[in-house]
Amino acid sequence: MDGDCGLCTHLAVILSPRLKQKKSVRFLAIESEEGQVLVSTFSEKLQRADTVYLIRDGKSYMRSGAAIRCLLYLKWYYSMWFPLLWLIPLPLRDLVYRFVARYRHRVFKRPATCVFPV
């Protein structure tokens, strides 16, 4: 996730206590050394994308695919929304994702300190 993004920080703080298993998801700032090492293992196309990534079972997902798949790690009353949201066509999901990503810094104040390891 973007380490200086208010939306990313808020989402990580909100998601953490709602995880099925506390250590099932780890949030990393893309700017961190470990984040850069992970991103460098992706294909060239994925490396150029300025987005959120989810790595699950050795496969990487980005944009809305990553965001929606995060639901699978949450308690059942959140994860039950995954199939319904997955039915929304990818181009439409990514269009909404890119709109939110474009304006996130205007709506969500950047955190004073990064809550992710940097």
The more confident residue out of 61 and 109 is 61
CA dist 59 to 38, 45, 77, 97, 108, Å? 12, 14, 25, 20, 30
Q: What is the pTM of this model?
A: 0.76
Residue 108 has pLDDT above 90, yes or no: no
Residue 109 has pLDDT above 50, yes or no: yes
- For 6-65, the pLDDT digits (tens) are 788 788 888 888 888 877 788 888 888 888 888 888 888 887 777 888 888 888 888 999
Tokens standing for 27?
């949030």
